[in-house]
């Protein structure tokens, strides 16, 4: 009986997926809570739309600037210690938001908060690259990002509940405490390699690693870390394509994360309670889109054997689908029609997450944390610009223009995926190095 049971693979990697998913949920809960509290904050301090745009974007500038250092740290020292520290740090900054007393202090605290969150997704990507085989990478990226959008979706009703009963400052205290609990949980539960974890048996390890030509389970890809080949990365056309495509995605995403609640209240004239609740609908659609896109890209990869087809088809469909719905969302006269179109737009937008975050693992090898950091850095420069552009246009009374600009960028992003970005091409392949030599360098 014991021998028979031992032949079944353990499920340690799925426990790790739960851990990582909870962290993703917390990241978005912490970054979106301020958008729900924004109407009360702007009223209490007299902030106009332009000022709120700068407060929203302060986090994103720091988040973009520290992506690459965050990814490098996890590549160099492992995700266990790095994520434990950065989550604890940003949770303290989340709580500190309650103590802000001016526009400058809000901007400073949100910037420091972004410094901490910058290490989250690149570190988790490095962890997932070591814990999951290629055929599961789109799925796990879809699930974890679904959890992040769930965090964004529960933020409006949760923050509203706290604000009504305790005031807006308590929302930041409570969110900060949740992150500190997770930091301890991660430190106690996670190991940098599945080989080191007691929950992983040899059968599950075979699924994760596969077997070599001799029939032995492949060793972990944890060679001694060498200096990151920055010049090769920066000369790689594929690296720039990945960065540009993600820029267009994140620019559009931050319309939903920063302005959605205020847009529904100020422009669509919903009440504070109803606007906060309706703002969660597109974000819940994003939860479904993340998982659907992750499953779809892995299914296509298995059916075709080509990452180029499996990743591209889903990403292009998602970006164009979002563009199709986001324009009528801005132009519709009926407010509920606008909410429906925003919900559909967010679903399609989030379908791109699985392929987008699988690509750094497919092409980055042992530098997947750094590659994903560069991708997320470029993307969040778009995210940093987005709230400011929206704020300036909205202050002038042109609430339709920000959505039309986003649609144009989404079409550009789809074109990058279709004609430039190659998920089958190793990211370290340069114009003068053969594919074989570059592939050998990251094995």
Does the pLDDT of residue 80 top 90, yes or no?
yes
Report pLDDT for 443.
Answer: 40
**Per mean pLDDT, which of 66-80, 218-232, 336-350 is the most reliable?**
336-350
What is the C-alpha to C-alpha distance for residues 394 and 263, in angstroms, rounded to an integer?
A: 9
Q: What's the rounded mean pLDDT across residues 201-212?
A: 87
Q: What is the pLDDT of residue 436?
A: 39
User: For residue 378, what pLDDT band results from cuts at 50, 70 and 90?
Assistant: very high
Lowest pLDDT segment from 56-70, 307-321, 360-374: 360-374
Give the C-alpha separation, 134 to 128, whole Å. Answer: 10
Q: Is residue 126 predicted with pLDDT exceeding 60?
A: yes
Contact indicator for 140, 121 with CB cutoff of 8 Å: no
Task: Give the separation between CA 99 and CA 111, rounded to whole angstroms.
Answer: 14
Mean pLDDT of 127-142: 85
- Determine contact, residues 301/133, Cβ cutoff 8 Å: no
Angle at which helices 335-350 and 237-254 cross, to 10° = 160
Main-chain phi, psi angles of 211, to 5 degrees? -120, 150
Task: Report the candidate in 442, 357, 291 with the shortest Cα–Cα distance to residue 132.
Answer: 357
pTM given for the model? 0.75
Kindly report which listed range (123-137, 251-265, 426-440) carries the lowest average pLDDT score.
426-440
Top-confidence residue, 104 or 213 = 104
Q: At what angle do helices 12-45 and 202-209 cross, to 10 degrees?
A: 70
Share the mean pLDDT of the chain. Answer: 87
Q: What's the confidence (pLDDT) of residue 440?
A: 39
Position 110 scores a pLDDT of: 95
Share of the chain above pLDDT 90, in %: 46
Question: CA nearest 55: which of 90, 105, 95, 98?
Answer: 105
Tell whether the torsion through CA atoms of 97, 260, 159 and 377 is positive or negative.
Answer: negative
Say what the pLDDT of residue 177 is: 97
Q: What letter would DSSP give residue 351? A: T
**Residue 79: is its pLDDT beyond 50?**
yes
CB distance 330 to 394 below 8 Å:
no
Distance of CA 348 to the CA centre of its chain: 15
Beta bridge partners of 424: none
Question: Taking the CA atoms of the chain, what radius of gyration do you get in angstroms?
Answer: 21
**Helical (H) or strand (E) element with 188:** helix 168-189
Higher pLDDT: 44 or 384? It is 44
- Per domain, the residue ranges of the chain are 9-211+230-442
What pLDDT does 8 receive?
87
Q: Nearest to residue 347, comparing CAs of 370, 324, 365?
A: 324
Could you tell me which CATH number the domain at 9-211+230-442 has? 1.20.1250.20
């Amino acid at each position: 009986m014991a021998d028979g049971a031992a032949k079944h693979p353990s499920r340690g990697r799925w426990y790790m997926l739960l851990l990582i998913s909870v962290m993703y949920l917390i990241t978005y809960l912490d970054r979106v809570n301020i958008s729900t509290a924004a109407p009360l904050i702007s009223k209490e301090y007299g902030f106009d739309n332009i000022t709120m745009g700068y407060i929203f974007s302060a986090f994103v500038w720091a988040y973009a600037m520290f992506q690459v250092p965050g990814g490098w740290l996890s590549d160099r020292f492992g995700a266990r210690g790095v994520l434990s520290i950065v989550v604890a740090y940003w949770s303290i900054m989340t709580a500190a938001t309650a103590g802000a007393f001016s526009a400058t202090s809000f901007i400073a605290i949100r910037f420091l908060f972004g410094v901490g969150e910058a290490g989250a997704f690149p570190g988790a990507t490095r962890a997932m690259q070591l814990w999951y085989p290629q055929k599961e990478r789109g799925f796990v990226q879809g699930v974890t990002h679904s959890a992040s959008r769930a965090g964004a979706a529960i933020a409006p009703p949760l923050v509203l509940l706290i604000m009504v009963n305790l005031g807006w400052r308590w929302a930041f205290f409570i969110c900060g405490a949740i992150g500190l609990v997770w930091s301890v949980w991660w430190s106690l539960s996670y190991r940098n390699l599945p080989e080191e974890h007691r929950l992983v048996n040899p059968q599950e390890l075979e699924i994760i690693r596969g077997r070599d030509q001799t029939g032995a389970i492949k060793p972990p890809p944890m060679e001694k870390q060498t200096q990151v080949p920055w010049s090769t990365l920066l000369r790689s056309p594929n690296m720039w394509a990945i960065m540009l495509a993600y820029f267009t995605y994140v620019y559009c995403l931050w319309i939903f994360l920063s302005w959605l609640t205020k847009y529904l209240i100020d422009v669509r004239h919903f009440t504070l309670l109803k606007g906060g609740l309706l703002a969660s609908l597109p974000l819940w659609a994003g939860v479904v889109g993340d998982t659907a896109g992750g499953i779809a890209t892995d299914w296509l990869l298995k059916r075709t054997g080509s990452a180029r087809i499996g990743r591209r088809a889903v990403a292009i469909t998602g970006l164009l689908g979002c563009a199709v719905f986001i324009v009528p969302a801005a132009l519709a006269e009926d407010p509920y029609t606008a909410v429906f179109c925003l919900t559909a737009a967010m679903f399609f937008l989030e379908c791109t997450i699985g392929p987008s975050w699988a690509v750094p693992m497919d092409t980055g090898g042992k530098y997947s944390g750094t590659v994903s950091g560069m991708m997320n850095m470029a993307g969040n420069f778009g995210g940093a610009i987005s709230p400011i552009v929206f704020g300036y246009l909205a202050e002038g009374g042109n609430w339709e223009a920000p959505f039309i600009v986003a649609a144009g960028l989404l079409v550009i992003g789809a074109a990058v995926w279709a004609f430039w970005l190659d998920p089958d091409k190793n990211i370290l392949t340069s114009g003068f190095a053969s594919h074989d030599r570059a592939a050998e360098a990251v094995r």
